[in-house]
Structure 1
Amino acid sequence: MRTVHSIKELRTILRGYRQQDKTIGLVPTMGNLHEGHISLVRKAGEAADIVVTSIFVNPMQFGASEDLDTYPRTLAQDQEQLEAAGNTLVFAPNVEEVYPEGLARQTQVVVPDVSDGHCGASRPGHFEGVATVVTMLFNMVQPDVAVFGEKDFQQLTVIRKLVRDLCIPVEVIGAPTVREDDGLAKSSRNSYLSEGDRGIAPAMYRILEETGRKLAAGRSDFAALESEAKEAMVQAGLRPDYFNIVNSDTLKPATNEDTSLTLLVAAFLGTTRLIDNLTVTR
């Protein structure tokens, strides 16, 4: 496994693989890798000959009061995990390599509609930052396939629309959420949780599952179900940001005509913000 830090070196190496008719898979990450990320790398390895994992803490997708400065940077440990998982190439650029003229002068990509609401409402500008850096990574790597986790369901929807609307020749693959034994979705931000908060955190997924069972049983009073879920979160010790039941494709509020529904949730424990989701077919 090799690690490169410049776009020029990245392209030189990938050109050699393409001349050998190798297919290329991309796994974009911000590092501080856990088993959820590694599952994406393995899935990319099943879909392509060469796997490129990018490690870049993207400042454009962080708000002014968010954890950009404290976000864990663990490149050495990440490299060890990636090599063990069969990753081929790590692309770990610095901010100046990606944004040489600075963020203020950077062209931005806006994906309308699906970026609105949910995390888009809670984190203004976040999905513009995600869409911009993912578009740049697609242009830098020019992968045949790219793998993203379903835990970030709205992000995955944004990227699928981005690829479709801009006619980018990349197959976007969603990979199932990897969970701890108690149901908590694996996340780099779980390391921020205190011991007490870590004990509370799995309640979020339990409430998702309970609401999903109610939907599967035939309930369609979506607003009431959302209120019940948020109240259950408060009772468990979580501070809800949102709990929304939406059409799985459009992310618009669910209607009785929808057959595939996704429950989107975000909540705080202390200063840590956690997200999760569950899809239900009726």
Structure 2
Amino acid sequence: MPLDTKSYEIPVARSAADLREAVAAWRAEGLSVALVPTMGALHEGHLSLVDLARKNADRTIVSIFVNPTQFAPNEDFSAYPRTEAADAAKLEGKADLIFAPNAEDMYPEGFSTTISLTGVSEPLEGTFRPTHFAGVATVVAKLILRAMPDIAIFGEKDWQQLMVIRRMVADLDIPTKILGGPIVREPDGLALSSRNVYLSPEERKAAGQLNVILRETAASVANGAPISEATAKGGKRILALGFEKLDYLEVRDAASLAPFPNDRPTAPARILVAAKIGKTRLIDNMPV
């Protein structure tokens, strides 16, 4: 199947063969390649990653694929927004190619391989979504091996995901450099997310305070407060906003995501949160 150059202003590859053909043509010209994996429903956070890709490579691929294997049965796979035409319009003049496979192409009949990690994948999201990172690692490995980019770029909003992918690439000797793009926030500090569209006006107002509590809790720890004391206070404030459930509010080693044994940071640290308000589960993080 040739590249789809009729549907949008930007060409679209629908199969691995078409993607590899396009990349091979760039390689023949001596051009470097960046990959920005996404699940679509693009916002300014995604586009900032595309801008970062353009600064670091000659050609940029944006993949759009809502990956079923990283959703648990009770999660929002069927409801996850799918806006390919709008996404393509946003990428005009920014990316050079969209890779938009379907599930049958990514996971053909008989597919039976999963990449799973220990360590960095196990706490936090791994506790509450135990199958999630195996799905992420598997699909990211497939996307990287299909495109073989020089660099691949992921947002720091999913900090644990970024650490998982860096670990996987290092462990499997995949010759792609993994870059993290800074979190893009709304004026009130809410981290941009495709799931923010699910928030009611009241929920959106409360969600805008999540980053404030995160920042103040991180400052408390940085100023010497015990981690357990500071995060307990922060957790109570989050629930008082109207969040129904707090999965975690933790300060962890920024690279390994291991807890600090003496209740105080002894290495570069990150504070991470996951909390649910209404039907929407929000995550965020920042350095301590």
- The answer to whether the Cα contact below 8 Å between 1:157 and 1:249 also exists between their aligned partners in 2 is yes
Show the counterpart of 1:40.
49
Show the counterpart of 2:286.
278
Aligned Cα root-mean-square deviation (Å): 1.0
For structure 1, which segment, 205-214 or 27-36, has the greater mean C-alpha deviation from structure 2 after superposition? Answer: 205-214
Q: What SS class does the counterpart of residue 114 from structure 1 fall into?
A: helix
Q: Residues 232-270 of structure 1, C-alpha deviation per residue, up to 9 Å, x if partnerless?
A: 101111231111110111101124462311001000011
Regions of 4+ moved over 4 Å = none
Show the counterpart of 2:31.
22
Long gaps (5+) in structure 1 = none
Post-superposition offset of 1:98: 0.4
For residue 268 of structure 2, the aligned residue among 248, 260, 263 is 260
- The answer to whether the Cα contact below 8 Å between 1:6 and 1:97 also exists between their aligned partners in 2 is yes
Question: How far apart, in 1, do the equivalents of 2:19 and 2:146 lie?
Answer: 8
Question: How far apart, in 2, do the equivalents of 1:229 and 1:199 lie?
Answer: 18
- The answer to whether the Cα contact below 8 Å between 1:184 and 1:202 also exists between their aligned partners in 2 is yes
TM-score, length-scaled by structure 2: 0.94
Q: What SS class does the counterpart of residue 32 from structure 1 fall into?
A: coil
Question: How far apart, in 1, do the equivalents of 2:79 and 2:242 lie?
Answer: 25
Question: How far apart, in 2, do the equivalents of 1:46 and 1:107 lie?
Answer: 34
For residue 206 of structure 1, the aligned residue among 209, 212, 217 is 212
Q: Residues 134-185 of structure 1, C-alpha deviation per residue, up to 9 Å, x if partnerless?
A: 0000100000000100000000000000011111101100010000000000
Show the counterpart of 2:170.
164
For residue 155 of structure 1, the aligned residue among 137, 141, 161 is 161
Partner AA of 2:253 in structure 1: N
Question: How far apart, in 2, do the equivalents of 1:157 and 1:212 lie?
Answer: 20
Partner AA of 2:236 in structure 1: E
Question: How far apart, in 1, do the equivalents of 2:39 and 2:72 lie?
Answer: 16
Long gaps (5+) in structure 2 = 1-9
Show the counterpart of 2:6.
none
- The answer to whether the Cα contact below 8 Å between 1:207 and 1:232 also exists between their aligned partners in 2 is yes
Alignment pair present for 1:95 and 2:100: no
Post-superposition offset of 1:204: 1.0
Show the counterpart of 1:175.
181
Q: Residues 17-71 of structure 1, C-alpha deviation per residue, up to 9 Å, x if partnerless?
A: 0000100000000000000000000000000000000000000000000000010
Aligned residue pairs total: 276
Q: What SS class does the counterpart of residue 120 from structure 2 fall into?
A: coil
Over 3 Å counting, the alpha-carbon distance change for 1:257 and 1:237 in structure 2 is closer
Question: How far apart, in 2, do the equivalents of 1:68 and 1:40 lie?
Answer: 23
Question: How far apart, in 2, do the equivalents of 1:48 and 1:63 lie?
Answer: 35
TM-score, length-scaled by structure 1: 0.96
Show the counterpart of 2:4.
none
Alignment pair present for 1:112 and 2:100: no
Question: How far apart, in 2, do the equivalents of 1:259 and 1:268 lie?
Answer: 29
- The answer to whether the Cα contact below 8 Å between 2:253 and 2:265 also exists between their aligned partners in 1 is no
Partner AA of 1:198 in structure 2: R
Aligned ranges 1:176-195 → 2 under 5 Å: 176-195=182-201
Q: What SS class does the counterpart of residue 92 from structure 2 fall into?
A: helix
For structure 1, which segment, 245-254 or 172-181, has the greater mean C-alpha deviation from structure 2 after superposition? Answer: 245-254
- The answer to whether the Cα contact below 8 Å between 1:254 and 1:261 also exists between their aligned partners in 2 is no
Alignment pair present for 1:121 and 2:127: yes
